Amino acid sequence: MAFEQLIGNDKIKDILKESVKKGNILHSYLFVGNEGIGKFHFAKEFTKMILCFYKNGCNQCKSCKEFDTENHPDFLVVEPEGNTIKVEQIRQMISKIIEKPIISDKKVYIVNDSDKMTEEAQNTLLKILEEPPENIIIILIAEKEEKILSTIKSRCTKITFQPIEQDKLKEILKKQYQYENISEHLLTFFNGSIKKALNVKEKKEVYEQIEKMVLGIKQMNKIGMLNQKNNIDKEEIINILEYMNLLFWEQSTQVDTKERESAVKSILIIEETKKRIQSNCNFDMTVDNMLMQLWEEWNEKNDRS
């Protein structure tokens, strides 16, 4: 993927390109923003330009070729092993940093999901940020900025990425990924994240069914509601619950007072379900329970009063 093909955040693209062209590259960056909006792709393309012999990501020079085949000796990505980036990983990275570049005039290190560094890892990284060796560029990528030590942040140039606007996202999904006819609810759910959209695309039917269920909950009978369990993909459960929450929340802004109360209660029921699933409660029982509670909330309660 060339730099030009990256989606959104045009201003950042321009700034990064200009800085490479003028040789104004800084020692350390912090790329922050929501998940799935392209921070890592930006970091990689930026790196390619920095390492390129002609400083433009020409695709022709030895550096660009090695980069594209993922063999560039002056480039390294550090990522979580399991849930965290451990101090040992940072130590290994530092041991390589002190070596001189091999084919390019600089070396670039990307720490992806850097908000998952343990505190020890962060403190170790801090030492190198305090006295960065010449010709070394470190790019930290993070979703949750607050998890990064302020001493690290103060040594990095922060670049904040914006979610992709809904219209633009819609257009890209259609043109590049042949994903169309997306409901407005889903577009809101994507929150400007291509990654999230593509994940939903793979389970499109599941999400469409969930939407139908929530929006039609008042017309459903008890058995129909329980049968909805077939649409609830175990692997996808947390995302599905979050989507249901969004749908009920949207409902709550459109309906009368009595139903608004049901919408709010539904959100609480779903949040409770999320907690249970996360603490490994029995999946079938938890989901059955949730469906029943939701159904009662929208049918029996509203009938009674």
Interacting residue ranges for Zn ion, rule: CB under 5 A = 52, 58, 61, 64
Structure token pair of residue 44: 């990689």
Nearest CA among 19, 21, 44 for reference residue 157: 19
Output DSSP code: residue 5: G
User: Judged by CB, which is closer to Zn ion: 61, or 214?
Assistant: 61
Q: How far is the CB of 62 from Zn ion (least distance, A)?
A: 8
* Exposure class string for 76-98: b at 16+ Cβ within 10 A, else e: bbbebeeeebbbebbeebeeebe
The SS3 assignment for 75 reads: strand
User: Judged by CB, which is closer to Zn ion: 64, or 291?
Assistant: 64
How far is residue 17's CA from residue 2's CA, in Å, rounded to a whole number? 12
User: Judged by CB, which is closer to Zn ion: 64, or 90?
Assistant: 64
Q: ∠ CA(294), CA(299), CA(305), 5° rounding? A: 120
Q: ∠ CA(297), CA(203), CA(34), 5° rounding? A: 85
Strand partners, 75: 108
Q: How far is the CB of 4 from Zn ion (least distance, A)?
A: 15
Would you put residue 101 in left (φ > 0), alpha (ψ -120 to 50) or beta?
A: beta
User: Judged by CB, which is closer to Zn ion: 41, or 276?
Assistant: 41
Q: What is the number of other CB atoms lying within 10 angstroms of the CB of residue 28?
A: 19
- Contact between 134 and 168 under an 8 Å Cβ cutoff? The reply is no
User: Judged by CB, which is closer to Zn ion: 52, or 220?
Assistant: 52
Q: How far is the CB of 107 from Zn ion (least distance, A)?
A: 16
User: Judged by CB, which is closer to Zn ion: 19, or 166?
Assistant: 19
Q: How far is the CB of 167 from Zn ion (least distance, A)?
A: 34
Q: How far is the CB of 140 from Zn ion (least distance, A)?
A: 25
Q: How far is the CB of 61 from Zn ion (least distance, A)?
A: 3
Q: How far is the CB of 110 from Zn ion (least distance, A)?
A: 18
Nearest CA among 99, 96, 89 for reference residue 122: 89
- Contact between 40 and 49 under an 8 Å Cβ cutoff? The reply is no
User: Judged by CB, which is closer to Zn ion: 49, or 156?
Assistant: 49
The SS3 assignment for 25 reads: coil
